[in-house]
Amino acid sequence: MNSEDTNNTTTLPSSSSSPSSPGVDSKPLTPPQKIDVIALDLGGVIFSAGKEVASQSWERRGYDSKLIRQLLTSPESMDLRKGLLTDDQFWNGFFKQRCPANYDVDVIKKLWYEGYVMDHDILALLYSLRTNGYRIAAFSGNIESRIDYLEDKYNFRRHFDYEVYSYDCHYTKPDTRFIEVLIKTIYPNATPDTYQQYGSRIVYIDDNVKDAEPSKLYNIPTFIYHRGQIDQLKSQLSELDVIKTKVNYKL
């Protein structure tokens, strides 16, 4: 969801062939098909990167933000995102046991969730894309309680035609099986032999190079976005004829 891999909006290069992986063979990638779906990550794209924003708030309370970030990127946190641990098991079990006794776990969680702030440049882009007939997908390694929090605060889920969350399917990024769930959700008739064909109809926008890397195996045009770089993203989308004119929509 969050990236420290690059400081610029980046297009991940396509491969002339794909290495062996679940559901993907090593045949040359199929020619791109007509793009009809735009898939976006949440944290770092639709919303600001929550840990980065929350770190300052944790530090102001005397909490070690480095320790907290380590716990929030631990294997156990990945199990939380996959729906394999409950909120109670993670926060009141794993997390609390590894923090100093004076750390208020509920406050840490609250500040983390509050760190996700809507990116109105991206939201305006979504309005324009939907107006022009594109379907929009949320594709996120996320936590059910955080989705509920953000929905209560922003009512954001109404902007999506499809939603693919890690806690529903028990996979998260960068697992290739998570991408296959995305493809199958959008195109129920897709099979392992046609994942690349259908993948080429999806544009994928993420903020993390590592998380986005497996998309190349499925012939998915993929862009790395950072808050404030909307013009670069629009320019790259225009190269795929997704945007033909400047988007002037204002919220």
In a domain, 122, yes or no: yes
75-107 pLDDT tens trace: 999 999 999 999 999 999 999 999 999 999 999
Boundary (domain end) residue, out of 64, 87, 114? 114
User: Is this structure's pTM higher than 0.75?
Assistant: yes
CATH of residue 230's domain is: 3.40.50.1000
Statement: residue 49 has pLDDT above 70: yes
Q: Are residues 60 and 99 in the same domain?
A: yes
Task: Give the per-residue pLDDT at 52.
Answer: 85
Statement: residue 56 has pLDDT above 60: yes
* Count of structural domains within the chain: 2
Residue 122 sits at the vertex; the CA angle it makes with 5 and 132, to the nearest 5 degrees, is 125
How confident is the model over 125-141, as a mean pLDDT?
95
190-228 pLDDT tens trace: 999 999 999 999 999 999 999 999 999 999 999 999 999
The distance from CA 234 to its chain's CA centroid, rounded to whole angstroms, is 18
Boundary (domain end) residue, out of 59, 81, 114? 114
Boundary (domain end) residue, out of 114, 148, 164? 114
In angstroms, the CA 58 to CA 19 distance is 42
Q: Are residues 76 and 164 in the same domain?
A: no
Residues 207 and 6: beta-carbon distance below 8 Å: no
| Among the ranges given (193-197, 232-236, 246-250), the one the predictor scored with the smallest mean pLDDT | 246-250
Structure tokens of 31? 């020619």
How confident is the model over 231-244, as a mean pLDDT?
90
Q: Are residues 56 and 22 in the same domain?
A: no
Task: Give the per-residue pLDDT at 42.
Answer: 96
Q: Are residues 93 and 163 in the same domain?
A: no
Range of the domain at 184: 10-47+118-239
